[in-house]
Amino acid sequence: METTVPARKKITFSGIQPTGVFTLGNYLGAVKNWGPLQDEYRCIYSIVDLHAITVRQDAKALREQALRCYALVMAAGIDPEKSILFYQSHVPAHAELSWALGCHTQFGELSRMTQFKDKSAKHADNINAGLFTYPVLMAADILLYQTDLVPVGDDQKQHVELARDIAGRFNGVYGKTFVVPEPYIAKAGARIKSLTDPTVKMSKSDPNPNSFITILDPPETILKKCKRAVTDSDMQVRYGEGKDGINNLMTIYSVITGKAFDAIEAEFEGKGYGDFKTAVGEAVAEELRPVQEKFRQLMEAPDYLKECYTRGAEQAAALAERTLAKVYKKLGFVAKG
């Protein structure tokens, strides 16, 4: 009798830092894309709290934000029955593999990371070693789960490429140990820009709260922020060069409504920016309404959340420890008795 081995479901891994409430950029560039992968892939998602401490945090605020972040990711469509959703600090293998991979990563490679350069310019008084080795920990996150696909926004592409380089190098020296992962970057929405300076990405660490929309902003705040968004003096809703502000709003509107740019241009032909900005604000508020509602329900069920993240960590640890044991063996460590 012929026996068929079922094909292994491909694995997706991604993470989000629990620093502040996440923004429309995090949502459109990454988290919104995680849910639809749940049926086709074995999805593993993490609230990456170890990454968050490369910048000084207030312990109480971090703990609260991390709980909210977990509930928000669930509210945005991650079902803990279908995906593994866990806190990075609950699975020690992340820090352990990070050390082993760090010994296979060059100083020069880490020095070239643009996020390190940006962050060390922003936090000149705290250029700590963790900030420098952050991409190694991220590589460990990804490689521990034999990940095939990493859905991220455009700003994380360089880090995923480094993870690929580290995996390839390790496999070259020790024999096939890791799957070499592919970045998965949405065609639209992978780089949502600041509303007040559309030449830079929308970021929750921006000191100007009008520059970003958070997932929990009430509808009137969303509308106000969209109306105030920086545009240009051309007064035509048209995608093009020198129109960063309008390009950004069109991208947001397009990702949410599914309308193509030419359809949006036709919709607002002869209308002013005011009408367009109102439409964008309303579309965003409508998109976020069910997420906010689900979030509020989840925050009223702390025992359920705890049950979910406890189970998530157990499931993640079981997979992670398998890879770590393989790595330790290849490196020549004596096996535990």
In the complex, the residues that contact ligand TYM under the rule CB under 6 A are 13-17, 25-26, 29-30, 48, 51, 138, 141-142, 150, 152-153, 155-156, 190-192, 201-202
Given 204, 227, 259, 330, the catalytic residue: 204
CB atoms within 10 A of CB 297: 12
Give strand pairing partners of 86. Answer: 46
CA dist 10 → 38, 96, 313, 316, 325 (Å): 11, 24, 20, 15, 21
For ligand TYM, the closer of residues 16 and 279 by Cβ is: 16
Which pair of tokens denotes residue 123?
């936090």
What's the closest the beta carbon of residue 159 comes to ligand TYM, in angstroms? 6
For ligand TYM, the closer of residues 203 and 292 by Cβ is: 203
Q: Is 5 helix (H, G, I), strand (E, B) or coil?
A: coil
For ligand TYM, the closer of residues 163 and 327 by Cβ is: 163
Those residues whose C-beta lies under 8 Å from the C-beta of residue 63, and which sit 6 or more positions away, are none
190/26 Cα distance (integer angstroms): 9
The count of residues in the chain is 337
Those residues whose C-beta lies under 8 Å from the C-beta of residue 62, and which sit 6 or more positions away, are 18, 19, 49, 52, 53
What's the closest the beta carbon of residue 174 comes to ligand TYM, in angstroms? 22
Give strand pairing partners of 15. Answer: 46
Known catalytic residue: 119?
yes
For ligand TYM, the closer of residues 134 and 268 by Cβ is: 134
What's the closest the beta carbon of residue 245 comes to ligand TYM, in angstroms? 14
What's the closest the beta carbon of residue 14 comes to ligand TYM, in angstroms? 4
For ligand TYM, the closer of residues 112 and 271 by Cβ is: 112
What's the closest the beta carbon of residue 254 comes to ligand TYM, in angstroms? 14
For ligand TYM, the closer of residues 168 and 302 by Cβ is: 168
63/277 Cα distance (integer angstroms): 36
What's the closest the beta carbon of residue 155 comes to ligand TYM, in angstroms? 5
For ligand TYM, the closer of residues 195 and 264 by Cβ is: 195
- Is 38 in contact with 82 (CB distance < 8 Å)? yes
Given 201, 225, 243, 277, the catalytic residue: 201
The residue among 139, 28, 58, 124 whose CA lies nearest residue 94 is 139
Give strand pairing partners of 23. Answer: 214
HSE, CB side, 13 Å, CA atoms: give it for residue 135.
Answer: 29
289/322 Cα distance (integer angstroms): 40
Known catalytic residue: 330?
no
Neighbour order of strands in the sheet with 11-16? 84-87, 42-47, 11-16, 149-151, 182-184
CA dist 82 → 77, 166, 244, 280 (Å): 11, 29, 38, 32
Known catalytic residue: 243?
no
Residue closest to ligand TYM when measured from CB atoms: 29
**Which amino acid makes up residue 245?**
G
What's the closest the beta carbon of residue 285 comes to ligand TYM, in angstroms? 19
Residues noted as catalytic: 119, 201, 204
